[in-house]
Copies of this chain bind each other. A is one copy, B any other.
Amino acid sequence: MTTINIIGTGNVAWHLARAFGSKNEVIVMQIAGRNHKKLEAFKDFTRELVSISQLVPADVTIVAVSDDSINNVYNKIPFQDQLVVHTSGFTEMLSRKHTSNHTGVFYPLQSFSKEDTELSFKEIPILIEAADDKNEKTLRVLADVISDNVQVINSNQRKHLHLAAVFANNFTNYCYTIAEDICKQNEIPFDTLHPLLLKTSEKAIQNGPKQSQTGPAKRNDLNVINTQQELIKDPTHKRVYETITKAIQHLYGEKL
């Protein structure tokens, strides 16, 4: 049995609270946040809703707040000798005053939104890090309760994984946004592209992205490339087209 507290009222906090709140192996003692209205949405997942100053020790206190706020929240936690972790991919494992060993990271790698009420943690990777073996073991036991994919990585690896996620999620999503714009401008329903979107991610998973690359840039088909450049009117879209086309041409070794 592991007891936990959660600090934060955002999407990561909500999904962790919901996942742990339904498990017999974990007791969610307290959930803390500044925004009382947002905090109310967490009441079914925990024994008690509190403010940070009212927190009492638990085996693990999970700080699921924005990168900018982690340090500030750490300093407000009113106990010393219990493990405190954050959930950020970007921020290093932080030491806490007087209690440098009782720190760690519990990073669930997924794009969370509150609408996603069916989300299962089973396949979501949880990347953990701790200042010592005992705390690492505690985090692993806790993560194993909700996920089948728990890995230990260090802060430098996690920072790079988070960067990779920016390419794999933020940037791909922006490419979809451009595609949607082009469809709208030409009165084509965007859902015409939906099957292609799904197949693209499925193929990259099955065969690897390098193996799955197709298109005019890979073939160095200058006729198509030049015509498409002329079709694009938006200067921002044009810059994205040119930059990625050059990058793909470069990767696949065609003459530049």
Give the B-binding residues of A (Cβ under 8 A).
Answer: 67-68, 90, 109-111, 113, 115-116, 123-125, 127, 149, 151, 153, 156-157, 159-161, 163-180, 182-183, 185-188, 190-205, 207-210, 212-218, 221, 223-224, 227-228, 231-232, 236-237, 239-241, 243-244, 246-248, 250-251
Contact = CB atoms under 8 A, between A and B. Distances in A.
A219 to B, nearest CB: 9
Contacts of A243: 239-240, 243-244
Contacts of A166: 215-216, 228, 241
Contacts of A207: 113, 115
B240 A199 contact: no
Oligomeric state, in copies: 2
B113 A170 contact: no
Contact of A174 (B161, B174, B248): B248
A195 B160 contact: no
- Top 6 A-B pairs ranked by shortest CB distance? A170-B215, A176-B209, A172-B172, A164-B179, A168-B179, A164-B182
A179 to B, nearest CB: 4
Given A157-B186, A168-B179, A247-B174, A201 B200 contact: yes
Nearest to A125: B192
Contact of A167 (B160, B178, B201, B208): B178
Contact of A180 (B109, B182, B210, B223): B210
A174 B115 contact: no
Contacts of A215: 166, 169-170
A209 B173 contact: yes
A contact patch SS = helix
Nearest to A186: B160
Contact of A161 (B173, B188, B202): B188
Given A164-B193, A180-B210, A170 B239 contact: no
A212 B231 CA distance: 26
A227 B90 contact: yes
Contacts of A180: 164, 208-210
A67 B215 CA distance: 12
A102 to B, nearest CB: 26
Contact of A200 (B111, B125, B156, B199): B111
A250 B236 contact: yes
Nearest to A213: B173
A231 B163 contact: yes
10 contacts: A90-B227, A160-B185, A161-B186, A164-B178, A167-B179, A170-B213, A177-B210, A177-B213, A198-B202, A237-B247
